Structure 1
Amino acid sequence: MVNADIEIETLDEFDRVAARGSLSGYRVQSVNLLERTFALLAADTSAAVFLGCAMEPDASAKVRADGALVFPPVPDLPFNPYRGLLYTPGELFAGLPDGYESTPDALVYAWFQETKSDGDVYSSMLRSLHDDAVSDALDEHLGGAPVVGVMGGHALSRGGAAYGGAAALGRTLARSGLTVATGGGPGAMEAANLGAYLAAAPDGALAEALEMLAKAPSFTPSVSEWAGAAFAVRERWPDGGDSVGIPTWFYGHEPPNAFAGHVAKYFANATREDGLLARCTAGVVFLPGAAGTVQEVFDNTTANYYASRGEPTPMVLVDRAHWTEHLPVWPLLRALAGGRAMESRIALVDSVDEVPAALASMN
């Protein structure tokens, strides 16, 4: 069995495997087994691993006697370090009507703020377990799909032309069959996820959604109002398309956006940045941004610089003036690319309208 075949992440999967009489060698990840005592007592659980699975004492004693490893649920945590699936916006923003401060996303950030510098190896271990579980869930979710990343500044306000352009780009990329992945935050990232969310809706839906969102242009001063406007759009078009957001609690003062269908949220920003770019197999689009976006440009450039066998990821930088005058990274990129495989895999365009053609020419 390959790794994905031995992981059990839902109760339905557990029931199907347990019905065969053996759970030997399986990894059961964050499944509530309190009502599956008989199945656990009846099945062979030798060499199985149970990660954060609630079970009755009799069942726990039996599987341990079989030789299974049991990692019990961790009490009093605002997150599940063994989670088997990606987050959803509804999960992260649960309880939003009572104020953002009461949501799971905000509570996890508060826990992180309290523990990130306390030197407690237990806290850091829990964060590492969580992030590894999220990476595993992300790979399973993507499943080899062609992924295009859209990077850009978090400060881009709803209601502006640049925000609308980023949303239109996300819609176009999703309609072409690509999975859109962003940093999962506000601004340009939210816009791209919004476009992907509305990819299957009539063309006029995007303009209407942009008008609704413009009433809460930024997550400051109120994350609750900002997120509430997004959920109003989701309620207006409840069957939105999927995309991925990959944010981090390291920058937890920036909330995740509500338009990514699945959210891989991390504690470690370095793990998040590297993982986001590494999974963008169909290319990365860089919209205008500041320090964070520039970091992503050069993180991706470093991987491309050392890429072997002609496999650099296509890179498209949008807004010629921004990347040649305001933040003139383009000349350095060209100098690094000179004579290397990545030279034909970078492009500078004037507007988002040119992005699809630029990506197509490099794929």
Structure 2
Amino acid sequence: MKRTRGRVVHVESLADLDRRLDAGATRLGSWRVHRLDLVVHGARLRGCDVRGTTFLGCRFRPGDDDALVAAGALVLPDVGASPLDVYRPHLYTADELYDREPYSRSLDARAYAWSQRVPGRDDSLAASLHDHAIDEALDAFVAGRRIAGVMGGHATQRDDAGYVDAAQLGRLLGGDLTVATGGGPGAMEAANLGARLAGLDPAALETAVAVLATVPTFRPSIDAWVRTALDAVADLPEPRTTLGVPTWHYGHEPPNLFATAIAKYVGNPTREAVLLEICHAGIVFLPGAAGTVQEVFQDACENYYADEASVAPMVLVGREHWTESLPAWPLLQALARGRAMEQHVHLVDTVDEAAELLLP
């Protein structure tokens, strides 16, 4: 939740700034002012106590920024030519990432294009600052929540049986837990959808999946894929909270629109580690390929060295997939033997069984 009162206050619009100043605010020490054009506000701000105030990416009339710094404020300029707000105080929403049509003009597409060029010093600094800001926003989001992860293949299409299974898993978990995924298409989209609709009649999920199946994949048209997602949930009640953690490293796979909070990173290694770390209620691994296998053993490594109080359950769904197609299960069993994690790794056949193992 964005802080608008208390110890730290984020001011993100001129209307909010004027409202606060008009109400008599003069001590701005707890304020974080984000990317505002303050050219005509200099005199008014200089009349306030700005010791400890932080101005992030704001514009000033020449000399006003120096005066504010001299009075005790911290003024941090924009860094490089990044399309990203490197000082953003909260996670993304789908509306922010898909802010323009067609998709090629959206923030998500612009950020992906920027992230793929050979970085200069300012670009690298901007990426680091942005991902640090996402880290802080994600820390605030997960505080007090029990997070359950769902990992699975990005290639699962909306008209596949596996998509229905992932959506059902998200619905089962989402009633009591906050469901987190990698934030992309395929099984990740399905799990975020199911979690978003948790608590509604199961028919609501069935209807949404039927609408989505008319555009099974984001290829060749991301715009058609996005419009169908919006149509699928257009008339539904306020959604349950669900989290996506995607990355512009895989920017050719667009983020799904069903995560209500999106922690999108520039760098993938940080994103992978963070996604596994926050899932204290456990992780369900649906059938997937190389990326899912990597996540299985990255999570296994964390659990291998964990003490009894820190192990998070691991549930692999699909006996044939994990013992024959990609036989990760025998190795996982061997790793777990004799360790604190041994009683917390499971192989099941259905998403219903998986949900039972994670639900309180």
TM exceeds 0.5? yes
CA contact (8 A) 1:198 1:241 kept: yes
Partner of 1:137: 137
CA contact (8 A) 2:286 2:316 kept: yes
In structure 1, the gaps of 5 or more residues are none
Partner of 2:222: 223
**1:83 matched to 2:88:** yes
Instruction: Give the structure with the larger helix fraction.
Output: 1
Partner of 2:56: 51
Q: CA deviation at 1:169?
A: 0.9
SS at match of 1:70: strand
**1:64 matched to 2:69:** yes
Partner of 1:113: 116
CA contact (8 A) 1:33 1:54 kept: yes
Q: CA deviation at 1:292?
A: 0.6
254-263 vs 32-41, which deviates more?
32-41
Cα distance change on mapping 1:220 and 1:331 into 2, 3 Å: same
Q: Superposition pairs for residues 268-287 of structure 1, below 5 Å? A: 268-287=267-286
What CA distance in whole angstroms lies between the structure 2 residues aligned with 1:89 and 1:242? 13
What CA distance in whole angstroms lies between the structure 1 residues aligned with 2:170 and 2:45? 46
**1:152 matched to 2:178:** no
Partner of 1:128: 128
Q: Superposition pairs for residues 183-202 of structure 1, below 5 Å? A: 183-202=182-201
**1:32 matched to 2:32:** no
What CA distance in whole angstroms lies between the structure 1 residues aligned with 2:211 and 2:99? 21
CA contact (8 A) 2:247 2:268 kept: yes
Segments of 4+ moved more than 6 angstroms: 13-18
What CA distance in whole angstroms lies between the structure 2 residues aligned with 1:221 and 1:166? 23
Matched AA of 2:104:
E
Partner of 2:98: 93
Partner of 1:213: 212
Alpha-carbon displacement from aligned partner over 1:151-201 (angstroms, at most 9, x marks no partner): 0000001022210111011011111x2101000000000000001111233
**1:104 matched to 2:103:** no
What CA distance in whole angstroms lies between the structure 1 residues aligned with 2:33 and 2:153? 36
Q: CA deviation at 1:311?
A: 1.1
SS at match of 2:219: coil
Q: CA deviation at 1:212?
A: 0.5
Cα distance change on mapping 1:280 and 1:27 into 2, 3 Å: farther
Alpha-carbon displacement from aligned partner over 1:246-291 (angstroms, at most 9, x marks no partner): 0000011100000000111111100000001101111111000001
What CA distance in whole angstroms lies between the structure 2 residues aligned with 1:138 and 1:186? 21
Q: CA deviation at 1:37?
A: 4.4
SS at match of 2:141: helix
SS at match of 1:208: helix
Matched AA of 2:295:
E
CA contact (8 A) 2:79 2:126 kept: no
Partner of 2:9: 8
Cα distance change on mapping 1:100 and 1:31 into 2, 3 Å: closer
Q: CA deviation at 1:72?
A: 1.8
What CA distance in whole angstroms lies between the structure 1 residues aligned with 2:56 and 2:191? 35
What CA distance in whole angstroms lies between the structure 2 residues aligned with 1:59 and 1:309? 56
SS at match of 1:341: coil
Partner of 1:352: 351
CA contact (8 A) 2:182 2:246 kept: yes
Q: CA deviation at 1:44?
A: 2.0
What CA distance in whole angstroms lies between the structure 2 residues aligned with 1:293 and 1:242? 24
Q: Superposition pairs for residues 176-325 of structure 1, below 5 Å? A: 177-237=176-236, 239-325=238-324
SS at match of 2:238: coil
What CA distance in whole angstroms lies between the structure 1 residues aligned with 2:326 and 2:17? 50
Cα distance change on mapping 1:296 and 1:20 into 2, 3 Å: same
What CA distance in whole angstroms lies between the structure 2 residues aligned with 1:276 and 1:307? 17
RMSD: 2.4
CA contact (8 A) 2:79 2:122 kept: no
What CA distance in whole angstroms lies between the structure 2 residues aligned with 1:196 and 1:228? 20
CA contact (8 A) 2:79 2:123 kept: no
